[in-house]
């Protein structure tokens, strides 16, 4: 239940942020919704993972400066509520964009 509420809250927050961005930029909601949703997925993925390129880069840099060997972290990804909510928001926004622009493609 807690994860479900987190997903719903994430979708709501992302929708409000995109709506606010559309008001600031002056574009329509359907023009930004899908692409900002993709951006949210990338950001949520970056913060939901452990290990990987950025961790190895920092580890190697610290190792080179200090000379102390540091164990390598194994790559791990956890699909938390924010990541899943971002995926659901992006899928819903894709359907919304298709519906909004259907008359142009049909």
Structure tokens given for 1? 């239940």
Question: What is the number of structural domains in the chain?
Answer: 1
State the pLDDT confidence band at 1, using cuts at 50, 70 and 90.
confident
- Find how far residue 97's CA is from the centre of its chain: 18
Answer for the pair 72, 56: CB distance below 8 angstroms, yes or no: yes
Q: Determine the pLDDT at residue 59.
A: 63
The one-character DSSP state at 101 is: T
State the pLDDT confidence band at 38, using cuts at 50, 70 and 90.
very high
CA distance 103 to 100: 8
Q: Could you tell me whether strands 76-77 and 49-50 are parallel, antiparallel, or unpaired per DSSP bridges?
A: antiparallel
- Domain range for 45 is 2-105
């Amino acid at each position: 239940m807690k994860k479900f509420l987190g997903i719903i809250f994430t979708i709501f927050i992302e929708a409000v942020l995109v709506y606010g961005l559309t008001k600031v930029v002056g574009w329509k909601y359907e023009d930004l919704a899908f692409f900002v949703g993709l951006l949210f997925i990338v950001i949520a993925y970056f913060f939901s993972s452990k290990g990987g390129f950025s961790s190895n880069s920092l580890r190697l840099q610290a190792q080179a400066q200090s000379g102390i060997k540091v164990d390598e972290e194994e790559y791990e990804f956890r699909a938390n509520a924010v990541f899943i909510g971002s995926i659901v928001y992006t899928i819903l926004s894709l359907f919304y964009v298709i519906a909004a622009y259907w008359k142009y493609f049909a």
